[in-house]
Amino acid sequence: DVKVTQSSRYLVKRTGEKVFLECVQDMDHENMFWYRQDPGLGLRLIYFSYDVKMKEKGDIPEGYSVSREKKERFSLILESASTNQTSMYLCASIPYGGSYEQYFGPGTRLTVT
Amino acid sequence: QKEVEQNSGPLSVPEGAIASLNCTYSDRGSQSFFWYRQYSGKSPELIMFIYSNGDKEDGRFTAQLNKASQYVSLLIRDSQPSDSATYLCAVSPGGYNKLIFGAGTRLAVHP
């Protein structure tokens, strides 16, 4: 069974803090993705990575950065958290050339106060 | 115009009925189409995917794709209360296995 884990289920941070969200997958997948999900807006792609040290901007990268130093780990960084970044963050992974089924982690509910 | 559009619902159907969920997309070059189910507070899980025009059946679920009209639908036969969830339509424009998601349709199956 593919397993995608995220470091926290719930996180509360203050405006201006630097926030790290970690995602780890145990199936040697090449592609990893970070989404945020907001009511009425669905899942929106923030960043994705198709290999170690490689990254590509998604649809809403502003205010975020990512790091992928190891194949199994993809980190999302909020450089200076703002209240409009309060959201559910979902990580997903898929093998290269896979059937496009993205395996999702359990999500991190981030609240910025 | 959103790239993938779904009616937000809620779509309310009685137990045992057929639930019909629809999705339209704007990119004619889209290659692959997916339906994910998401229970409240949980992450999405894949229930169907379809690549070719026509119908694809899996148990109580049937996905239908019409590329000329740019729509994809999901039929759930013999709907059960456990089917109550948000259904997300996702479209792959190709490359890097990216998916573009619709906002989802909330389905409520009442006994």
**Among B residues 67-106, those touching chain A with beta carbons less than 8 Å apart:** 88, 92, 96-104
Q: How many CA atoms lie within 13 A of A70 on its CB side?
A: 9
CA distances from A63 to A110, B14, B78 (A): 15, 44, 45
Estimate to the nearest angstrom the gap between the alpha carbon of A98 and the chain centroid. Answer: 20
Give me the pLDDT at residue A99, please: 57
Average pLDDT of chain B? Answer: 92
Does the bond joining B10 to the residue before it have cis omega, within 30 degrees of 0?
yes
Interatomic CA distance for residues A107 and A37, integer angstroms: 10
* Across B86-109, average pLDDT: 87
Give me the pLDDT at residue A71, please: 94
Tokens 């948000």 map to which residue? Answer: B86
Q: Is residue A82 a contact partner of residue A15, using CB atoms and an 8 Å limit?
A: yes
Give me the pLDDT at residue B96, please: 55
pLDDT, one tens digit per residue, over B6-21 is 988 899 999 999 999 9
Give me the pLDDT at residue A10, please: 95
Contacts of A44 in chain B (CB under 8 A): 101
Tokens 């039929």 map to which residue? Answer: B75
* Across B24-52, average pLDDT: 91
Question: Nearest-CA neighbor of B107 among B28, B29, B50, B36?
Answer: B36
pLDDT, one tens digit per residue, over A61-108 is 999 999 999 999 999 999 999 999 999 999 999 877 655 678 899 999
* Across A39-54, average pLDDT: 90
SS3 B2: coil
Contact call for A100 and B49, based on CB within 8 A: yes
Nearest Cα of chain B lies from the Cα of A14 at a distance, in angstroms, of 23
Phi, psi of B81 (to 5 degrees): -55, -30
Which residues in chain B belong to E strands, given as ranges? 4-6, 11-14, 19-25, 32-38, 45-50, 54-58, 61-66, 71-76, 85-92, 100-101, 105-110
Contacts of A99 in chain B (CB under 8 A): 49
Question: Residue B106: is its pLDDT beyond 80?
Answer: yes
Q: Is residue A6 a contact partner of residue A105, using CB atoms and an 8 Å limit?
A: yes
Q: How confident is the model at residue B29 (pLDDT cuts 50, 70, 90)?
A: confident
